[in-house]
Structure 1
């Protein structure tokens, strides 16, 4: 007898989101005249949702800290931090910064959250800061305070220093790195356990939102999807095409034709690591990139390069701010850019990474983490586009690095 196919986590979240919406629309009009709905059902749903949010918050600091230490230690290897390593990291961080800027620009222009008017946010945007203050505040004067209070930019910078320094001192740093490796694995497992509760948590959160605000919560979702897909298209047409034409001196059509199999696989499977063999095959056999370059650039990209996710975070952060009527200053948006860029190192491949990273960005910007429930239900649709861009960006940079190393493509 053939075993029944199990539903994926993202499918379960989608189902929970839809059922929560329907339940919210049904019980919302009943709440004013039904004490049972108002004093029992809605509070219980709110409790379930808040427990899920607390579990996510519990994960953020130890998960990000341990994974970043390990990610930075691999990058910090003196043998890796050679000519190719420095160029690769520079291009990856550069394309990620551009992607976040595109996401923030589209969020400001399209304004997908305007009109939702969700009230009662538990957090408010941080006071406007100057650019100099934002830059200064990413460096922790007291790293233990940053860890305890969850000041994510400072946690990220401290973890990066620790990871690189532990590698540079050689044998004496191995015990520290082994501890962090073990901690990272433990956190990955806890993350997997917590993410199993995501369908229930998202169901409860969106049910409460739908009950309070009715069908008005639906309209902006189409604008969010449009903004993120438009951002992904712009990233490929402007950034990747520009790099291929300007540095590789080839037609963008040559590039996209050569990597189309990996792009399609990434779009369908929604996993960068899973399509790595296809990416390697495409860049080596279709683009002519050497194995020496591709075997370094592509796996590193699967770890630290997430341009599609960066676009998603920029758009979603502004969507949530607009939905809750919170005005994000230029300083706050710059903080989002820095947080998302630095957080891209070492977080790829973690189950539920998109939600974890988004929750971290929201907390860093002083936005209500409850807003994550608004986009979780459509995450599968968004994930296809952002994974495709993540993988395409890795392959683009591999071609660029190969060209700068004198390879004939």
Structure 2
């Protein structure tokens, strides 16, 4: 008996013909941005109270879920990354070169920020006055920065989310584990398992990024409105232009000239981390994706597991270089304070040396107060920028994360340990939480 054509056709359609297409993750993010802007505009225009509250809660919950994993993630990531250096030949050389390139790129970024600020005068014509400012709840100084690294106990840094102190404890534990050798192997095995567990849980949160985007962007538009953004139009444009120049100008130039690599291929591989950083505004929250795309670009896993966590807590071209340079000029103009050549040199020094103060968290308030206190500028200026900070932080964090991928790629290329085949075949497809490298861990050679 022949099969019924109608039933066969129906079966074919149900099996494959009407399968719902999978929406790319980047498209989900873009859709979230657009929907958030629309809902934020509707909320502010028609004063929809319940929608305002909903957007606030959705965005807040997403950020809280990211922060929930920050403390243990940073601790175990730093600990494991330090101990993984034992698998890398000439680890001290790699670590030194990584730090050196962190400083070089930060210096270039702060120079661009200063140049843009001096040309555009972002504090002129805003209508803002010193009385509009207010003192920040937490101010930073060099003494606070240096003495605050060492915790009073092992519990408080985790409960208060003091990332610098967590990094300090993790570094001490990692170095001690290296010294103990085989005796520390059970602890290292447990730490690696806990880190994988945390990263797996964080992947689930990351998949919620499109929904979080709706809440974060919608609430920002509903709460601040276009009128407030207009007062900071020049400053906002300066931050975005400065970050764009570093992200799409300096980084490609370094890749092409120093590493002899294709900038287009770099952005194809790094894009999943960059777009997530833009939405989440957290370098640490993006760290699992950052490490995956760095490995996918051909950086050896053992080196990436050190450089990426290290960069996520110290490498901040957006938050710690471009932003404080522009903010210092902006605040000085609002308070009618004249800055000299020595002040600009101090800004560069603070940006290059003190960038660890940002510690990978959302926002750059600590870094800004550190810069202002060094220059002797009024800390009330921080209050002037708090209202616009979420809008600025998206582009700053995207620049941070791109730099955290860039440096390991450059160092690997110059040290002849980069997998060029992997680099040239890297795609912009979403990074899967279960994605792993096919090769077994091995000692990474370093060219003499």
TM-score, structure 1 length as denominator? Answer: 0.60
How far is 1:152 from its partner? 3.7
Q: 1:218 to 1:299 in 2, by over 3 A?
A: closer
2:253 matches 1:242: yes
Q: 1:10 to 1:224 in 2, by over 3 A?
A: farther
Secondary structure in 1 aligned to 2:394? helix
How far is 1:400 from its partner? 0.7
Secondary structure in 2 aligned to 1:335? helix
Distance 2:375 2:156 in 1: 27
Asked whether the equivalents of residues 270 and 383 of structure 1 are also in contact (C-alpha less than 8 Å), the reply is yes
Q: Which of residues 327, 338, 355 in structure 2 aligns to 1:316?
A: 327
Distance 2:353 2:100 in 1: 12
Greater Rg by CA: 2
2:385 matches 1:381: no
How far is 1:404 from its partner? 2.0
2:123 matches 1:113: yes
Secondary structure in 2 aligned to 1:369? coil
Deviations 1:369-392 (A, max 9, x none): 111122111111100100000000
Q: Which of residues 99, 108, 114 in structure 1 aligns to 2:109?
A: 99
Distance 1:334 1:297 in 2: 28
TM-score, structure 2 length as denominator? Answer: 0.55
Q: How does 1:233-312 map to 2 (within 5 A)?
A: 233-285=244-296, 287-309=297-319, 310-312=321-323
Q: 1:152 to 1:381 in 2, by over 3 A?
A: same
Q: Which of residues 357, 360, 370 in structure 2 aligns to 1:349?
A: 360
Q: 1:218 to 1:325 in 2, by over 3 A?
A: farther
Q: Unaligned 5+ residue runs, structure 2?
A: 1-52, 64-73, 134-138, 165-223, 421-448
Q: Which of residues 385, 398, 403 in structure 1 aligns to 2:408?
A: 398
Q: Give the count of matched residue pairs.
A: 280
Asked whether the equivalents of residues 229 and 388 of structure 2 are also in contact (C-alpha less than 8 Å), the reply is no
Deviations 1:265-287 (A, max 9, x none): 111111111111211221222x1
User: Which range moves more in the overlay, 266-275 or 177-186?
Assistant: 177-186
Distance 1:399 1:262 in 2: 15
CA RMSD across the alignment: 3.8
Distance 1:120 1:271 in 2: 30
Deviations 1:186-206 (A, max 9, x none): 764799xxxxxxxxxxxxxxx
Q: 1:219 to 1:280 in 2, by over 3 A?
A: closer
Q: 1:154 to 1:94 in 2, by over 3 A?
A: farther
Secondary structure in 1 aligned to 2:285? coil
How far is 1:349 from its partner? 3.3
Distance 1:184 1:231 in 2: 33
Deviations 1:178-226 (A, max 9, x none): 64766645764799xxxxxxxxxxxxxxx9xxxxxxx9x8754010111
Q: Which residue of 1 aligns with 2:67?
A: none
Q: Which of residues 357, 378, 384 in structure 2 aligns to 1:368?
A: 378
The structure whose RCO (Cα within 8 Å, separation 6+) is larger is: 1
Q: Which residue of 1 aligns with 2:17?
A: none
Distance 1:297 1:402 in 2: 11
Q: 1:182 to 1:336 in 2, by over 3 A?
A: farther
Q: How does 1:45-194 map to 2 (within 5 A)?
A: 82-116=92-126, 152-153=141-142, 179=152, 184-185=157-158, 188=161
